[in-house]
Amino acid sequence: MDNKRKYVIPGDVVTTGPFRPEQNVILEGNKIISTTIGISEIYDDSVKVIPLTGKYIPKINDLVIGKVISHTSLSWELDINSCYVGFLPAQDVFGRDFSAHADELTSKLKSGDLVAARIANFDRTRDPLVTISDRDLGKIDSGDLVKISPSKVPRLIGKRGSMIQMIEMATNAAVTIGQNGWVVVSCETPEGLLKAKKAIEMINEKAHVANLTDQVKDMLEIKEDES
Amino acid sequence: MTSTSVLDDLKKTQILELLEQGKRVDGRALDEAREIIVETNVVPHANGSARIRLGDTVVMCGVKIQPDRPFPDTGDKGLFICTAELLPLSHPTVETGPPQPPVIELARVVDRGIRESHMVDVTQLVIEKDKSVIGVFADNVVIDYDGNLFDACSYASTAALLSSKTPKWNWTDDAPVLAEGEDTDLPITTIPVSVTMGKIGNHIVVDPNGDEWDTMDARITITSDSDGNICALQKGGSDGFTQDEINQCGEISVRVGAKIREKLKEAQKGTQ
Amino acid sequence: MGGRDAKMVLLDENGIRCDGRKVDEPRKIMIKAGGLKNADGSAYIEFGENKILVGVFGPRDVHPKHMSNTDTGILRVRYHMEPFSVGERKNPAPSRREIEISKVIKEALEPAVMLEKFPRTAVDVFIEILQADGGTRCAALTAASVALADAGIPMRDMVAAIAAGKVADTVILDVNNEEDQAGQADMPIGYMPSLEKITLLQLDGVLTPEEYKKCVDVGVQGCKLVYDLQKKALNDQYFGKGGD
């Protein structure tokens, strides 16, 4: 590991001096201290720590997989694997003419349903607002839900999507990755489905390992000329 | 288990579809229990203890043995009390506070399963008739939850009791006095084994895991002893069983129970 | 292993304590991060004969809603002893001692946990004492800190804890059960190593002003030893043997 990156735990001093503290670090006097378990990175003038654990913190425009856990007459509440519950207003699904008397929410979505959604708005004073009104969003009718740590999602996607594309091509599975660590995998063949799920679980467990890509390739039995 | 955890629909559908084909999500047969891992003496300061892993469900049982006053109408019998507690760290939906009805039911069913089998011979636990007896407390705590706490607590209690050592007390000058260095095994007459079955649609599955527990319509826990006799039973859940299903469950519980009994005996011998 | 034996020698002529340790020697400590499947974070500690498990959930929604705080998250701590954890079987209902210790540990962790980042949520810390042998609150606080880090909850610093004390007019480190019962003073200390702040401090017993300062110093140095083991536990779990 080069000088600019190191493993840190909460309270560890990443560096001292005139740097700008970014994600997951704080400034104490002239010391920049990590607030989480992770890998610190020092850029030209700023310092951040990439966390290796922790819940998903919603970011506007993130694609997430959510599970409906309850509803009122005006909205649904979604579990999005975060500290906060996702808020999906009825108008998002029924449209502007939504009427609380006439339109029954459970006709579209009920408890236990999984949806692909996008974070429409979030600030810490309110629960995150989600939407499912784009073409690639909405209720998920089939597939298996695999849960990984949100901090491993970048590894699962890979540089410019290279890791997930490799898995999809080798198994013929279709994978929808939520930034919140929930992943839906569907495949026509049970073998492909099992392999894809194993690959995802392997990445979740070994994200910090250097030759992970090779290990996944081996597991998927990808021959060199195919990759 | 509380009902506020929502199982996703896809999982439910998957469980039902597989059952129609005679299969389960984790590959088990319908009458197959999960792998059981038994460790004893995990709390060395207690008189006996065990930790059971039933799949991802983890339960610990500690046995404390100490002198106590007998109940007024049974001065010639020692005390046996078995409890169960669901620890809040075992699942996000567990709340702190006084035990709710499902946990009280769990504790009482586990207690009855062992008591009704007469596993511990309480007539051998008298220090001085009507004045002082030995009290055996088996306290279960659930550490991680993935379904079927009835069986996990039952196995933890049984394993802990089988490996317990009881001190000896002599009645001297109107008080029980500890006789150092005279520890013995507890007076054990039989090894009760509980087997819990869930009913999902028309299918009976043994040892439902967490997802199956959330999907099932009803359940039944049947405890059998070393002679193959059924000594305790509890039906729960909001659906009913047919008479045939009840008979089928009885047969399964004795058969599957016998295999699990061997596992618990092995653990007692310390070969695990 | 009686505790009230007046004839028990707590410190012999060679400076050896009743369990064979030297005056500045802590008991054997083992800390493991992770281990529970359902909790968001967890840790297990063995501190001498103490065996303690901690599970953490959060930040998460607060129920009932009126308990939540619009400006900051809240920390809730439950220190609970199993009936089989102590010499005489303990009633499962929470005792006043457990309630007090829960509060003291909560206040020892609050300076470290960055609750202001998660308004309207709660972080729940559940401490389960499986076997007790003196110094459970320090061991519990130490494990709780590891479990919070394991859960990824932002913290300004870790909190490490150990008790200093006095037996036979001598200041010692890490008081065990016999020393707590029959000794002259017991001072549990919780300490944030980077920020150099003491966040838990209690005292049972009588100390001269010099002994008081010495106890605090011995305790703080002891906390630094404990902190090294917390670091090791997290390193082993996260940075492993196959890391970069």
Using CA atoms, how far apart are residues C220 and B170, in angstroms rounded to an integer? 48
The one-letter amino acid at C180: D
Query: Which two structure tokens, joined as six digits, stand for A76?
Result: 């649904």
Q: Where are the alpha helices (DSSP H) in A48-149?
A: 90-94
C53 within a domain of the structure (yes/no): yes
Same CATH topology for A5-51 and A144-226: the answer is no
Q: Determine how β-strand A75-79 pairs with β-strand A63-71.
A: antiparallel
Any chains having at least 3 CB pairs less than 8 A from chain C are: A, B
Name the nearest CA neighbour of C52 among C145, C124, C122.
C145
As beta bridge partners, residue C164 has C173, C187
Where does the pLDDT of residue C241 fall: very low under 50, low under 70, confident under 90, or very high at 90 and above?
low
Using CA atoms, how far apart are residues C109 and C79, in angstroms rounded to an integer? 13
Q: Output the pLDDT for position B5.
A: 67
Contact assignment for A79 to B6 by CB distance below 8 Å: yes
Domain ranges of chain A: 5-51, 63-140, 144-226
Shortest Cα distance, chain C CAs vs residue A97, angstroms:
31
Residue B3 pLDDT greater than 50, yes or no: no
Q: What is the pLDDT of residues A121-137, one digit of tens each?
A: 998 778 899 999 998 99
Using CA atoms, how far apart are residues B94 and B5, in angstroms rounded to an integer? 10
Q: Output the pLDDT for position B92.
A: 95
C7 within a domain of the structure (yes/no): no
Using CA atoms, how far apart are residues A57 and A180, in angstroms rounded to an integer? 8
Residue A144 pLDDT greater than 80, yes or no: yes
B contacts of C143 (beta carbons < 8 Å): none
* Cβ neighbours for A74, distance < 8 A, ≥ 6 positions apart: A89, A90, A100
CATH number at residue C78: 3.30.230.70
A5-51: CATH architecture: Beta Barrel (2.40)
| Side-chain half-sphere exposure of A69, counting CA atoms within 13 A | 15
Where does the pLDDT of residue B2 fall: very low under 50, low under 70, confident under 90, or very high at 90 and above?
very low
Give yes or no for a contact between B191 and B264, defined as CB atoms under 8 angstroms apart: yes
Q: What would the CATH number be for the domain defined by A63-140?
A: 2.40.50.140
Q: Output the pLDDT for position A103.
A: 76
Using CA atoms, how far apart are residues C193 and A82, in angstroms rounded to an integer? 30
Question: For chain B, which residues lie within 8 Å of any Cβ of chain C, measuring from their own Cβ?
Answer: 42-46, 49, 56, 60-64, 66, 83, 85, 87-92, 96, 137, 139, 141, 143-146
- Sheet of A5-8, strand order: A5-8, A38-42, A46-51, A20-21
Nearest chain B residue to A142, by CA: B10
Q: Count of domains in chain C? A: 1
C contacts of A55 (beta carbons < 8 Å): 40, 59, 152
Name the nearest CA neighbour of C8 among C164, C168, C163.
C168
C2 within a domain of the structure (yes/no): no
Where does the pLDDT of residue C65 fall: very low under 50, low under 70, confident under 90, or very high at 90 and above?
confident
Residue C242 pLDDT greater than 50, yes or no: no
Q: Output the pLDDT for position A95.
A: 87
B contacts of A77 (beta carbons < 8 Å): none
Contact assignment for A53 to C150 by CB distance below 8 Å: yes
Interface membership of B18 toward A (CB under 8 Å): no
Q: Determine how β-strand C204-205 pairs with β-strand C185-192.
A: antiparallel
Select the residue of C57, C85, C92 nearest B85 (Cβ to Cβ): C92
Where does the pLDDT of residue A227 fall: very low under 50, low under 70, confident under 90, or very high at 90 and above?
very low
Nearest chain C residue to B89, by CA: C55
Q: What is the pLDDT of residues C201-232, one digit of tens each?
A: 999 999 999 999 999 999 999 999 999 999 99
Q: What is the mean pLDDT of chain A?
A: 90
Per the CATH hierarchy, to which homologous superfamily does domain B31-267 belong? GHMP Kinase, N-terminal domain (3.30.230.70)
Interface membership of C124 toward B (CB under 8 Å): yes
How many contacts does A have with C, using Cβ atoms within 8 A?
A: 98
Domain ranges of chain B: 31-267
Q: Output the pLDDT for position A105.
A: 87
* Cβ neighbours for B46, distance < 8 A, ≥ 6 positions apart: B62, B63, B64, C84, C131
Using CA atoms, how far apart are residues C90 and C72, in angstroms rounded to an integer? 36
ipTM above 0.85, yes or no: yes
Q: What is the dihedral of CA B108, C94, C88, C160, to 10 degrees?
A: 120
Contact assignment for B90 to C92 by CB distance below 8 Å: no
Shortest Cα distance, chain A CAs vs residue C55, angstroms:
14
Q: What is the mean pLDDT of chain C?
A: 94
Contact assignment for B88 to C36 by CB distance below 8 Å: no
Any chains having at least 3 CB pairs less than 8 A from chain A are: B, C
Nearest chain A residue to B7, by CA: A112
Q: What is the pLDDT of residues C15-57, one digit of tens each?
A: 999 999 999 999 999 999 999 999 999 999 999 999 999 999 9
A contacts of C157 (beta carbons < 8 Å): 10-11, 33
Interface membership of B6 toward A (CB under 8 Å): yes
Stretch C172-199: mean pLDDT: 96
DSSP, collapsed to helix, strand or coil, labels residue A186 as: strand
Where does the pLDDT of residue A223 fall: very low under 50, low under 70, confident under 90, or very high at 90 and above?
low
Shortest Cα distance, chain A CAs vs residue C39, angstroms:
12
> In chain A, pLDDT over 90 holds for what percent of residues?
68
Residue A27 pLDDT greater than 60, yes or no: yes
DSSP, collapsed to helix, strand or coil, labels residue B162 as: helix
Name the nearest CA neighbour of C151 among A55, A31, B238, A69.
A55
C80 within a domain of the structure (yes/no): yes
Q: Which fold has domain A144-226?
A: Ribosomal Protein S8; Chain: A, domain 1 (3.30.1370)
Pick A31 or A99 by higher pLDDT: A31
Stretch B203-219: mean pLDDT: 96
Residue A55 pLDDT greater than 80, yes or no: yes
C96 within a domain of the structure (yes/no): yes
Instruction: State the residue range of the domain holding C177.
Output: 29-239
Using CA atoms, how far apart are residues B170 and B127, in angstroms rounded to an integer? 6
Residue C198 pLDDT greater than 80, yes or no: yes
Pick A86 or B272 by higher pLDDT: A86
